[in-house]
Amino acid sequence: MLVAAGIDCGTGFTKALVVGRSGPEAPLRVLGKGRVRSGVQVDEAAQSALEIALGQAGLDREAVDYIACTGFGRYNVSFRDVAITEITAAARGAFTIRNQGGPVLDIGSQCTRAIAVTSAGKVQAFKSNDKCAAGSGTFIARAAKYLGITVEEVGELSLGARNPQPISSICAVLAESEIINHVSAGVSVEDILRGIHQSLADRAGAMLRKVRSESPVLFIGGVAKQRGMTEELRRRLGVEVEVPHDCDFVCALGAAVLALRRLAARN
């Protein structure tokens, strides 16, 4: 069996996935996965995540024939065979899950991306958000902190909104002052959170329109776990939105699949 690993070194978490295939026509099997906080030592985090995945798979380090790294820390992993961008990886991961192309929306802690994937699993077009932080997970995390709740609570609380208060500013600083105004005006936490999700959804929608890809949208990345956000995307974009199981492992999966392909090509 050919065994390969994909490691996604994100800004928040490092995710490793070990996959295998017993022959060229055989189905892809996910053997194990690991997830650790990235911290400052990217190499160590990658090592730990991989060890967890190997433990699940019941394999030794030597059993892995090829390692592809992706994410912002991809070049810091000393034991990698190849580095691939998270956009290429996300496209391939999404393609592997869906077995077809189409639009992918990836909202992580630092970055939001819209990717159009071809029917061959390649990147056709993509848009990243401006370096401004107002459009990604960190912004939600900061808002949550200000509102005195945990990030994990955001998704459910947002669902309970009755009268969402929109955030109209594009800039994170202005958006935060808007949130503060809402709080002082007595707006409920639920309504504020839903308003944040609305503004994020609008922005994501604009990016998706720029890459011009047909629905349904595969929504991945850490923020995809927030149900309020998914709900808002569906409502405001008027498209079907699918959130895969393990939505934050999609890039690691894509990297692992590409690693396996390189390995097959080499053999």
Partner 1 sequence: MSVQATEYRGSIHQQQKELMLQWYAALDRAAGNAAEQPVVSMMVSGNCVELLEGFGAVPLYPEVNALQLAIRHQSLDPILLAEELGYAADNCAYVKADIGAYLKGITPAGGRLPKPTLVLCNFVGCNTYLKWFEHTADLTGAPLYVLDVPFLRSEEPGEADIAYVVRQLKEVVARLESLTGRKFDYDRFQQATAYSAESEGLWSGIKHLAQRSPSPFDAYFDAITLMGPLYVYRARSEGVQFFRDALRELEQKPVSAEDEKFRLVVEGPPPYPYFRAFRDMFARWKACAVASTYSTVGGLWEFGFRHDPEKPFESVARHMLAQNVTNRNYLQRYEQIGHYLRAWDADGLIIHFVKSCRLFSAGQGDMREYFSRMGVPTLYIESDLEDPRYFSEAQTRNRLDAFFESLEHMKRTGARRMPLAAPQPSPLRVL
Partner 2 sequence: MAECLEQSFEPLTELAQDIEFASVRRWKQGAPHRKAVAFFPVYAPMEIIHAAGMLPVGIAGAGDRLDLQHADSRFGSFICSIVKTTFELGITGKLEPFDALLFSTICDSARNLCFVMKRNFPGQHFEFLHLPHSTSESSIEFLAAEYRRLMGELQRIAGVEITAGALRNSIAMFNRQRELAGEIYTLRAEAPHLLRATESYALLRAGLRMPVEEHIAILEEMLPKIRARGGKKRDAIRVVIEGSFCEQPPLPLIRVLEAAGCDVVDDDFTLAQRWFSEPLPLEPDPVQTLAERYVRCATYSSVRHFPAAARCRGLEQRIRRSRADAVIFLIAKFCEPAYFDYVLFKKAVDQLGLPSLQLEFEEKLFTFDRLQTEIETFVESLIFD
Q: Cβ 177 to partner 2, closest distance in Å?
A: 16
Which three-class secondary structure state does DSSP give residue 40? coil
Q: Which does 181 bind (CB under 5 to 8 A by kind): partner 2, partner 1, none?
A: partner 1
Q: How far apart are the first and last CA of the chain?
A: 12
For residue 70, what are the β-bridge partners? 8
Q: Which does 206 bind (CB under 5 to 8 A by kind): partner 2, partner 1, none?
A: partner 1
Contacts of 5 (CB under 8 A, 6+ apart): 16, 17, 18, 19, 50, 53, 64, 66, 67, 68, 256, 259
Both structure tokens of 131: 């370096």
Selected binder of partner 1 within 8, 86, 106, 178 (CB under 8 A)? 178
Q: Is 28 in the site for partner 1 (CB under 8 A)?
A: no
Q: Which CB atom, from 76 or from 128, has the smaller least distance to partner 1?
A: 128
- Rounded to an integer, what distance in angstroms lies between the CA atom of residue 102 and that of residue 118? 7
Q: Give, in degrees to the nearest 5, the angle at Cα 230 between 36 and 142.
A: 55
> Of the ranges 52-60, 143-151, 204-212, 213-221, which one interacts with partner 1 (CB under 8 A)?
204-212
Selected binder of partner 1 within 163, 168, 214, 235 (CB under 8 A)? 168
Question: Given the rule CB under 8 A, which residues bind partner 2?
Answer: 72, 84-88, 111, 120, 122-124, 126, 128, 131
Question: Given the rule CB under 8 A, which residues bind partner 1?
Answer: 130, 168-170, 174, 177-178, 181, 206, 209-210
